[in-house]
Amino acid sequence: MHPTATTTVTAPPPTGRSAACRLLAATLACALVPASALAGDRWQRLDDFLQRSTAADGYPGAVAVVEVDGRGAFHGSRGHADLARTRPMREDSIFRIYSMTKPVTSVALLMLMEEGRLSLDDPLSRYLPAFADRQVVVGGDLRHPQLAPSPRAITLRHLLTHTSGFAAAADAHPVATRLLSAADVDSAISLQDVAARLAALPLADAPGTHFHYEGSNTELLARVVEVVGGQPFAQFLQQRIFDPLAMRDTGFEVPAAQRGRVVDLPTSNDDSSLRLAGTASARTPGVRLKGYDSGAGGLYSTAADYLAFARMLLDDGRSGGRQLLSRKTVELMMSDQLGGFEPAIASAGNGEGFGLGGYVVTDPAARGRLGSVGQFGWSGAASTYFTIDRREKLVAILLMQYLPGGDRPLASPSTRFYNLVYQAIP
């Protein structure tokens, strides 16, 4: 057993906007197009959209980065970093990326697979014995659930694809969902504690039969990384991913000296006005998002840092002369896994499947937005988005901070953002 470690942001803050732009430019390592030079260009449409989205009645601010075929096509910060709209957004601003942590956790597990230390179809119980002999809810109520033995074990592939049977779906699975809620996983103090709480619960479905997007899956993957890797999850990420990619502003908390770079986290009142969200990290920017190293949603990061991670995946697992993952592993990660189950499992959205930690576009027409077959990406709960398109050699990242709430939440920017990115590429 290993104690929980802390990964922190360590880079000193640049002074002024020009230094922030130099930081991002160094990360892009290419000829960037400043927003002021976009007049008459199709990229100006994206710039105009970001300006409108961060107007007085919209999101406080945004940072966007697009790279195409190894060149920086667009980058810029718009709006403000604070709810009062007094601090201009900077390109080195730090964001809570929540579920954009999940692909990072997937990469960590896949590194262990490449070392021959585990396989995707290994049962979870091989590494966490308490998960042997799972049961599935088949009826009853919260106090007296009716259970039956699961016909198969949970595998690591099930966790990676959110097909393990854990579910938070009150309408379809009220008993299992309420039991999961009662376990209060978010209040756990370590990944070991998370695993112990989940091991005591029955499943909503038999593993490998339904897709239920649920963070518990990825938290268990993070615990497997700790057990198999022989070190705390935060240390593994730091040594194997963050340090090699020079992701100096990515971690599970931000040191006090850097917290002035963290963007405010608002939500909506019922009248559509914005207020500070009620989370601990909104009240005290930079503190841990959860009490443990959450592989499902615990990281802070910046546009430059996440670009380094996404570019590594776009470049077949390579970065700066180092091979973090093999080309074939990246191909597997970005392949739809749901269609490979027997029978195939339906995903949450039309035209989308799910790979090992993110969506995979299977039909852009059915999805209803511009893109490519095989495009991979994910988003975070507080309005952060990324996509990797290996066919077009494209990475696009949009970072905002806003938790949907109230009767009139702000409209999601994702579809319009991606359409404007794709309409601009040659």
247 and 352 share a domain?
yes
Residue closest to 351 by CA, chosen among 366, 340, 336:
366
Which DSSP category does 68 fall into? Answer: E
200 with 65, same domain?
no
- Decide if 292 is inside a domain: yes
Which residues on neighbouring strands pair with residue 203, listed in sequence order? 136
Q: Are 332 and 325 in contact (CB under 8 A)?
A: no
Last residue of a domain, one of 195, 229, 263: 229
Tens-place pLDDT, residues 289-326:
999 999 999 999 999 999 999 999 999 999 999 999 99
Do 393 and 267 lie in a common domain?
Answer: yes
What mean pLDDT is predicted for residues 214-232?
A: 98
- For residue range 342-356, what is the model confidence (pLDDT) as tens digits? 899 998 889 999 999
Q: Report pLDDT for 40.
A: 41
Q: Give the Cβ contact number of residue 242 at 10 Å.
A: 25
In the structure, what pLDDT confidence band is assigned to residue 10 with cuts at 50, 70 and 90?
very low
Q: Please state the length of the chain.
A: 426
Domain with 197 in it? 120-229
In a domain? residue 1? no
CA distance linking residue 261 with residue 193, whole number of Å: 31
- 168/7: higher pLDDT: 168
Q: What CATH number does residue 169 fall under? A: 1.20.58.710
For residues 250 and 220, state if they share a domain: no
Would the pLDDT of 19 be above 50? no
pLDDT of residue 39: 37
- 139 and 55, same structural domain? no
Residues 146 and 61 in one domain: no
Phi, psi of 396 (to 5 degrees): -135, 130
113: in domain = no
Q: Is residue 358 part of a domain?
A: yes
Q: Does 8 fall in a domain? A: no
Helix 414-424 × helix 43-53 angle, to 10° = 160
Position 253 scores a pLDDT of 97
**Is the domain of 376 the same as that of 363?**
yes
Q: Which residues are paired to 76 by β-bridges?
A: 64
The pLDDT of residue 314 is: 98
Same domain, 163 and 266: no
Q: Could you tell me the pLDDT band of residue 12, with boundaries at 50, 70 and 90?
A: very low
Residue 325 lies in a domain: yes
Q: What percent of the chain has pLDDT over 70?
A: 91
Domain boundary among 202, 229, 256: 229
Looking at residue 169, its pLDDT comes to: 84
Same domain, 36 and 128: no
- Of 229, 245, 263, the last residue of a domain is 229
pLDDT value of residue 35: 43
Residues 137 and 265 grouped into a single domain: no
Domain count, the chain: 2
Query: CA angle at residue 291 from 288 to 295, to 5 degrees?
Result: 80
The whole-number pLDDT of residue 41 equals 86
In CATH, what number is assigned to the domain containing residue 414?
3.40.710.10
Same domain, 306 and 403: yes
Q: Is the pLDDT of residue 126 over 50?
A: yes
Give the three-state DSSP class for 412: coil
Q: Which two tokens stand for residue 28?
A: 């892009």
Predicted local confidence at residue 4, as pLDDT: 32
Q: In what order do the strands lie in the sheet with 394-399?
A: 71-79, 61-68, 394-399, 384-389, 376-380, 359-361, 352-354
pLDDT score of 407 more than 70: yes
Q: Are residues 264 and 338 in the same domain?
A: yes
Q: What's the rounded mean pLDDT across residues 20-47?
A: 57
What number is the average pLDDT over the span 387-409? Answer: 96
Let me know if residue 194 belongs to a domain: yes
Assess whether pLDDT exceeds 80 at residue 1: no
Q: How far apart are the first and last CA of the chain?
A: 52
Name the nearest CA neighbour of 251 among 59, 96, 411: 96
* pLDDT computed for residue 25 by the predictor: 52
pLDDT confidence band for 9 (50 / 70 / 90): very low
Rounded alpha-carbon distances, angstroms, from residue 131 to 103, 134, 168: 23, 6, 19
- CA–CA separation, 61 and 58 (whole Å): 9
In a domain, 383, yes or no: yes
pLDDT for position 426: 86
